[in-house]
Every structure is written in structure tokens, then in C-alpha cells.
């Protein structure tokens, strides 16, 4: 493995994109990654100490700071994001070493492969931003609503994502992602009976959850697997049921209970026409790591003190004095919130005991950077797509789905002409999980090589084409794999820049039941404490959920445990406080918002229950 450069990094958010128009001309200085912190903290007390700058912790810091709580926010890394961060390839190398040395809790078996030969040095590490916990964002979601309410969205840039694909019978099928009456009734691949069944089912999904008839149906089928419900009640079977359950519903296993699956499908449907004709968004330049930096900046403007490269080394519950790795000491007036990867050594036993009371789940991830932009899979003027392998669709007879998020150079995470494939599975057998991921990669590799080959003319015939709305002949589906292409074996292999795999452990159930349910939430490790005085709380690792669902529910749970209520969570009237906001931001640039060694500030119980106001004109760049 080549030597890595500690100071190598991606450009900070402020460098990559100009400050938002509402921000003052002088914002908190962002130098944490360029000059790792060398000086002691210049504060002597705070109300809340937060360890780790992951997404949950960053939203919590901002929510508390805007209510006047004095927050000290530190991270033992020299970059922001923690377990949700976006890293360069060189940072990934270092991260893998630390994981395998046991230095990063909740991650294991980290491997990185960079092909040798002539292309060994033909990449610039800083051109890549690889997410440790990639996510997609539904247009109708509690996190997006909070981004608007908190104005943090103005620090970010979003792109639309409308192409969802499902793998079935060794073929990538187009799905029902453009789920409108017009698309369904003009789809020549569907029979009239199937079209009517689909419309009947979609009408049922979009009914109000309080509708007595719908409530009764869901109650009667509370334990019925969704596959059985679709077949028995609406006459829908594979492939349409697979597309509904695993592609637009993004369920991660078969036998998903009907109410949960219906909520997931509705999440997709109600996200149409919220901020455009697409249902999903991706944040540019990175996922959760980019959003966490936005909330960190908001928290800094509200008065939070930030410091990287700093660890908590001791805490006296009597005097409430916390000691840090830089030699400084700070009195903690209220509580400490620790991210799982930031738990200090003196708390390791307590944290382990708390975790042993819970059931851990593993998420196995494989991320591959390839020298293909995969534009054949991505909608026009977009930079991302989602591919789903339903249960038992791979030669490995996968029990759980394999979900893949694809982003190309247009998303700012890799150079033009390349793409990053983020794949993961909730399969709990580690060896089986790896085989499933490698099998999915092989299927995608063969598909994109077939599709982008230039010598296909002799392989295609009339049955590989359909006529679109404009009368133009088009290949059968979005992956362009007509029947004649099934036997085509490309001679070339995919050019790989980097393959990166690891196993992540979390205490959040794959179905989010212990976060979205008020009764189940008690089993979350965020409820665990190390003393009767409850001075210290733990947050959780990112879940296996491909969306951001559950994030705000967990933040609110922590917020309520700290303040006693979540009724004033981000209850800030920013529209009436522009001048005060700008004064606070200007002050933050020169005093307590950052230390002398300034750092780089770079839901609800139902999946489908969030409603919010649309963006103002031009507020979101798409």
C-alpha cells in the first residue's frame, strides 16, 4: 500500500461552493483540515459536550445551539463527518488501517484494493469523495423539511434522482418509478388487467392513513408478507410486485410486513412533484458528510465551539470537569453525548455493557470507483441512479436485497467519465454478504460493458425495440438489455480505480422499528447511560436504511432527553431574524464560535407522515 499524506484532503465545502447569498460576507473561518488543531481550547465551560461530528450529532448541536444552549463540539478526527464522512482515497487508506487495528469502533474487516500496473498512479486522491454511509433523500422527508426550516439547505446543492432499476431473471428491468396514470397506461409491456390492478393498488396506497377502510385492511394484514398481500388482494405478482416492494419501496428483505411495505411505497409516491417531477434527491459533493458539515456551520453561527483532532480523555462526574487530549479542561454544566466511534477509553466498559443489552445488526458495504460514467443507467441531466437486486435474484441466492447507489462525475464525487457504485446488504452472515455483493458487482459490470459496447448492431432485432410516446424506437428498457443481448459476453473488463469494502455494526434495526416506534425506541443505545445521574449518553451508528429516514427521530430523542421536551426543536423564526443572524455569524468569525486554531466547519413515527412547504424560487440548484 502506498504511503498516504495526512494533509491530503478534498476541498472544504466553502472552497467548493461560494457562500449562500443570505450569509454575511465574513463567515466562520474554515481551516481545520488545512491546519490540524495545535492549541488548547479557549473555553472554560459549556452546557453540552458532543463527541463526534456525524450527521445525528451535528443536527443535535445546531438544534441545541439555536435554543441558546452552550455547546462544545469536538471530533478526534482531523475531518468532519465521523462515521458519516466523505473521504478521499488516501484518507480511505488510512481509515482502513485504523479499522483493522481496532481503533475505530463499530467498523471491521476493512479492505481497499487499488489495481497495479500502468494505471497505478493515474488518479488524484483529492478528486474523489467517497461516502462511508451513502444515503438518498426523498423529496417528502423530515430531514429535507428540516433543511428548509433551518436554512441549512442554503449551504448545500442538490440534484434530482429519478431512475430506479430492478434486476430480475438475469435482466435489468425498467420499473414503475415514473408512477403516473399516463405512464402506466402507455406502458406496452403491461397487460390491461395488470394496469388496472396497479392503478387500484396505487389508489389504495395514496389513501389517507386515517381512512377507516384502509386502517381496517392494514390491521387485518398487519403480519401478512407484502408479497402475499399484493397477490391475494390486488392480483399483482412478480415482476410488478418486486418493483413495488424492492425498487420503489426499497425493502431490504422478503416477507416484509404489509404495513411497513405500504409506508415505504407511499414514501416514494408522495415525493413526486414536491420540488420537481422526480421523487428523490442527492446532495452534491457527498452525502451525509456534506449535510453534517452544513449543520455544523449553522451550529457555529449560533455560538457552538468546534475543535478537531481532540479527544475526551477523562471526566469527573462529581466536579463535572472534562479533560481533553490537548491538555485543556472544561466544566460540563449538563450532559455529554458521545458518538459510538468517539467513546473514550475510560467509558469503553460502560458502553460495551450498554451494547450487550441490545441486538447488533451488521451492514456489509462494497464501494467501487470505475472508469465509466454509466450514463446509460442515469436519466438525462442527472448524475445518479439506484439499482436493486431483489431476494434470490443473484446466482448466490441472496436472501436480502442488494441496494446500489450510482453517482458519476456530474455529482462532484469523482472525475468526469467515472462513477462510484455504493452497494450494501443486510445479510448477517459476513461471508455470504460478501459473495452477494461481488455477484451483484459482476452482474452490473457485465451489463454496463454490454450496453456501452460499440459492436452491437448485428445482435439487435425488432423484438429488442419499443416505440416511445414520440414515435421513436427505443431499446426495451432503461438498461437496454434486450433479449438478444443476454448472451452477449463483452471481451473487455471494467477499469477499476478502487474497490473498498467493510462491515459496519449498528443497533438500529434494519426496519427502523426501534427508532420510528415510540415503544421500540427504548431499546436504542441512545437510551443507555453510564451512571444514575445520566451525565453521559450515546448516540448510534448510521443504520442500513438507504434513505435518511429515522435520523430526525433519533436526534429528537436525544434532544428530548437533554431538554425535557422536543416541542421547541429547531423552533427558530429565521425569517424575522436575518439581521440578528448575520450579526451572530460575523461575531462567530472572530470570537467564541471557533477556537484560536479554528476548525473547518465544513421522524416521525410513520415513514410517510412528513409535510412541509416548498422551496422558494431558485433556492435549490437542480
Higher pLDDT, 603 or 62: 62
Going by pLDDT thresholds of 50, 70 and 90, the confidence category of residue 465 is: low
| CA distance readout (Å), 107 to 103, 362, 503 | 9, 9, 6
Q: What is residue 191's predicted lDDT score, i.e. its pLDDT?
A: 76
Say how many C-beta atoms besides its own lie within 10 A of residue 573's C-beta: 6
pLDDT at 265 over 80: yes
Q: What is residue 598's predicted lDDT score, i.e. its pLDDT?
A: 34
DSSP state of 494: -
- The residue-averaged pLDDT of 183-189 equals 56
**Taking Cα atoms as reference points, which of 556, 609, 550 lies closest to residue 133?**
550
Higher pLDDT, 92 or 607: 92
Going by pLDDT thresholds of 50, 70 and 90, the confidence category of residue 22 is: very low
pLDDT at 542 over 80: yes
How far, in Å, CA of 532 to CA of 134, rounded?
36
E strand or H helix that includes residue 45: strand 45-51
Higher pLDDT, 30 or 441: 441
Q: What is residue 134's predicted lDDT score, i.e. its pLDDT?
A: 96
Q: What is residue 461's predicted lDDT score, i.e. its pLDDT?
A: 57
Q: What is residue 354's predicted lDDT score, i.e. its pLDDT?
A: 78
Pair 424, 430: CB distance under 8 Å: no
- The residue-averaged pLDDT of 208-221 equals 93
238: Cα within 13 Å, side-chain hemisphere:
13
- The residue-averaged pLDDT of 113-124 equals 73
Per residue in 494-523, pLDDT (tens digit) is 899 999 999 999 999 888 888 876 544 333
Higher pLDDT, 314 or 174: 314
- The residue-averaged pLDDT of 242-253 equals 92
Pair 480, 458: CB distance under 8 Å: no
Quote the distance between the C-alpha of residue 71 and its chain's center: 25
Q: What is the dihedral sign for C-alpha 509, 511, 516, 519? A: negative
Pair 248, 265: CB distance under 8 Å: yes
Per residue in 96-105, pLDDT (tens digit) is 999 999 999 9
Strand partners, 164: 386
pLDDT at 70 over 60: yes
Going by pLDDT thresholds of 50, 70 and 90, the confidence category of residue 481 is: very low
Q: What is residue 441's predicted lDDT score, i.e. its pLDDT?
A: 96
Q: What is residue 502's predicted lDDT score, i.e. its pLDDT?
A: 98
- How is the beta sheet containing 171-174 ordered, strand by strand? 107-113, 496-506, 361-370, 419-425, 402-408, 384-389, 164-168, 171-174
Provide DSSP, 430-487: HHHHHHHHHHHHHHHHHHHHHHH-S--GGG--GGGEEE-TTS-EEESSTT---GGGTT
Reported pTM: 0.83
Residue with C-alpha cell 464501494?
Answer: 367
Q: What is residue 574's predicted lDDT score, i.e. its pLDDT?
A: 72
pLDDT at 594 over 60: no
What angle do helix axes 226-234 and 192-206 make, rounded to 10 degrees?
120
Q: What is residue 328's predicted lDDT score, i.e. its pLDDT?
A: 92
Q: What is residue 353's predicted lDDT score, i.e. its pLDDT?
A: 81
**Taking Cα atoms as reference points, which of 249, 262, 274 lies closest to residue 201?**
262
Quote the distance between the C-alpha of residue 205 and its chain's center: 25
Q: What is residue 21's predicted lDDT score, i.e. its pLDDT?
A: 32
Q: What is residue 27's predicted lDDT score, i.e. its pLDDT?
A: 32
How far, in Å, CA of 69 to CA of 64, rounded?
5
How far, in Å, CA of 58 to CA of 539, rounded?
11
pLDDT at 39 over 90: no
Per residue in 414-461, pLDDT (tens digit) is 999 999 999 999 999 999 999 999 999 999 998 888 877 655 555 555
pLDDT at 608 over 50: no
Domains and CATH numbers, the chain: 42-85+285-358+508-563 (3.50.50.60), 89-125+361-453+488-505 (3.30.519), 163-277 (1.10.405.10)
Q: What is the dihedral sign for C-alpha 306, 309, 315, 319? A: negative
Average pLDDT in the chain: 80
E strand or H helix that includes residue 249: none
Q: What is residue 467's predicted lDDT score, i.e. its pLDDT?
A: 58
Q: What is residue 408's predicted lDDT score, i.e. its pLDDT?
A: 96
Q: What is residue 8's predicted lDDT score, i.e. its pLDDT?
A: 47
Q: Give the total residue count for the chain.
A: 622
The SS3 assignment for 333 reads strand
Q: What is residue 454's predicted lDDT score, i.e. its pLDDT?
A: 56
Q: What is residue 233's predicted lDDT score, i.e. its pLDDT?
A: 95
Least confident of 45-49, 235-239, 439-443: 235-239
- The residue-averaged pLDDT of 48-71 equals 96
pLDDT at 20 over 50: no
Q: What is residue 277's predicted lDDT score, i.e. its pLDDT?
A: 83
DSSP state of 136: B
Residues 6+ apart with CB under 8 A from 322: 49, 312, 314, 315, 329, 330, 331, 332, 336
92: Cα within 13 Å, side-chain hemisphere:
26
Least confident of 42-46, 170-174, 312-316, 322-326: 170-174
pLDDT at 276 over 90: no
Question: Cα torsion for 114, 292, 143, 520, to the nearest 10°?
Answer: 80
Q: What is residue 283's predicted lDDT score, i.e. its pLDDT?
A: 93
Phi/psi for 420 (5° steps) reads -115, 130
169: which 3 cell numbers?
Answer: 431473471
333: Cα within 13 Å, side-chain hemisphere:
11
Q: What is residue 469's predicted lDDT score, i.e. its pLDDT?
A: 54
Q: What is residue 417's predicted lDDT score, i.e. its pLDDT?
A: 95
For 304-409, where are the alpha helices, taking DSSP H only?
Answer: 348-356
Q: What is residue 3's predicted lDDT score, i.e. its pLDDT?
A: 38
The SS3 assignment for 540 reads coil
Residues 6+ apart with CB under 8 A from 517: 605
Q: What is residue 452's predicted lDDT score, i.e. its pLDDT?
A: 75
How far, in Å, CA of 57 to CA of 61, rounded?
6
Q: What is residue 7's predicted lDDT score, i.e. its pLDDT?
A: 43
pLDDT at 486 over 60: no
- The residue-averaged pLDDT of 213-225 equals 94
- The residue-averaged pLDDT of 396-411 equals 96
pLDDT at 204 over 50: yes
Amino acid at each position: 500500500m502506498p504511503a498516504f499524506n495526512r494533509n491530503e484532503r478534498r476541498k472544504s465545502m466553502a472552497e467548493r461552493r461560494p457562500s449562500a447569498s443570505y450569509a454575511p460576507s465574513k463567515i466562520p473561518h474554515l481551516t481545520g483540515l488545512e491546519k490540524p488543531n495545535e492549541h488548547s481550547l479557549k473555553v472554560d465551560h459549556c452546557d453540552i459536550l458532543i463527541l463526534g461530528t456525524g450527521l445525528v450529532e451535528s443536527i443535535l448541536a445546531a438544534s441545541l445551539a439555536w435554543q441558546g444552549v452552550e455547546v462544545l463540539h469536538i471530533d478526534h478526527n482531523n475531518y468532519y463527518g465521523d462515521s458519516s464522512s466523505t473521504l478521499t482515497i488516501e484518507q480511505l487508506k488510512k481509515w482502513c488501517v485504523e479499522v483493522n487495528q481496532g481503533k475505530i469502533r463499530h467498523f471491521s474487516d476493512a479492505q481497499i484494493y487499488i489495481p497495479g500496473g500502468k494505471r497505478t498512479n493515474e488518479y488524484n486522491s483529492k478528486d474523489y469523495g467517497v461516502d462511508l454511509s451513502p444515503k438518498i433523500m426523498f423529496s417528502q422527508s423530515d430531514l429535507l423539511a428540516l433543511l428548509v426550516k433551518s436554512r441549512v439547505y442554503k449551504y448545500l446543492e442538490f440534484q434530482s434522482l429519478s431512475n430506479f432499476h430492478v434486476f430480475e431473471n438475469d435482466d435489468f428491468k425498467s420499473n414503475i418509478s415514473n408512477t403516473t396514470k399516463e405512464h402506466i397506461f402507455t406502458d406496452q409491456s403491461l397487460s390491461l388487467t395488470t394496469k388496472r390492478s396497479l392503478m387500484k393498488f396505487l389508489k389504495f396506497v395514496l389513501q389517507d392513513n386515517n381512512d377507516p377502510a384502509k386502517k381496517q385492511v392494514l390491521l387485518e394484514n398487519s403480519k401478512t408478507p407484502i408479497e402475499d398481500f399484493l397477490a391475494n388482494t390486488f392480483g399483482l405478482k412478480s415482476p410488478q410486485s418486486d418493483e413495488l416492494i424492492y425498487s420503489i419501496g426499497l425493502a431490504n428483505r422478503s416477507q416484509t410486513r404489509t404495513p411497513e411495505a405500504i409506508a415505504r411505497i407511499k414514501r416514494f409516491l408522495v415525493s413526486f412533484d414536491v420540488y420537481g417531477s422526480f421523487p428523490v434527491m442527492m446532495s452534491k459533493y457527498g452525502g451525509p458528510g456534506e449535510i453534517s458539515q452544513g449543520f455544523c456551520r449553522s451550529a457555529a453561527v449560533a455560538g457552538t465551539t468546534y475543535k478537531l483532532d481532540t479527544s475526551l480523555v477523562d471526566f469527573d462526574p462529581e466536579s463535572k470537569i472534562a479533560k481533553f487530549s490537548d491538555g485543556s479542561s472544561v466544566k460540563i454544566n449538563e450532559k455529554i453525548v458521545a458518538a459510538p466511534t468517539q467513546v473514550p477509553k475510560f467509558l469503553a466498559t460502560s458502553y460495551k455493557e450498554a451494547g450487550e443489552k441490545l441486538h447488533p445488526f451488521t451492514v456489509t458495504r462494497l464501494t467501487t470507483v470505475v472508469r465509466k460514467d454509466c450514463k446509460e443507467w442515469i436519466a438525462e441531466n442527472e448524475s445518479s441512479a439506484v439499482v436493486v437486486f431483489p431476494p434470490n435474484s443473484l446466482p448466490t441466492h441472496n436472501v436480502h436485497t442488494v441496494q446500489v447507489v450510482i453517482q458519476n462525475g456530474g455529482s462532484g464525487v469523482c472525475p468526469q467519465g467515472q462513477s462510484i457504485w455504493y452497494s450494501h446488504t443486510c445479510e448477517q452472515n459476513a461471508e455470504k454478504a460478501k459473495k452477494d455483493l461481488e455477484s451483484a458487482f459482476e452482474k452490473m459490470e457485465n451489463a454496463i460493458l454490454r450496453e456501452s459496447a460499440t459492436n452491437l448492431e448485428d445482435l439487435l432485432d425488432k423484438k429488442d425495440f419499443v416505440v416511445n410516446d414520440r414515435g421513436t424506437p427505443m431499446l426495451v428498457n432503461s438498461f437496454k438489455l434486450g433479449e438478444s443481448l443476454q448472451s452477449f459476453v463483452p471481451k473487455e473488463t471494467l477499469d477499476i480505480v478502487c474497490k473498498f469494502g467493510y462491515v459496519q455494526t449498528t443497533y438500529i434495526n434494519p426496519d427502523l422499528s426501534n427508532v420510528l416506534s415510540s415503544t421500540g425506541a427504548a431499546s436504542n443505545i441512545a437510551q443507555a447511560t453510564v451512571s444514575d445521574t445520566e451525565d453521559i449518553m450515546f448516540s448510534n451508528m448510521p443504520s442500513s436504511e438507504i434513505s435518511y429516514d429515522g435520523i430526525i427521530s433519533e436526534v429528537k430523542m436525544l434532544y428530548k432527553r437533554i431538554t425535557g421536551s422536543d416541542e421547541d426543536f429547531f423552533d427558530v423564526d429565521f425569517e424575522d431574524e436575518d439581521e440578528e443572524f448575520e450579526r451572530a455569524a460575523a461575531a462567530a468569525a472572530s470570537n467564541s464560535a471557533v477556537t484560536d486554531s479554528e476548525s473547518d466547519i465544513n421522524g416521525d413515527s410513520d415513514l410517510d407522515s412528513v409535510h412541509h412547504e416548498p422551496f422558494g424560487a431558485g433556492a435549490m440548484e437542480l
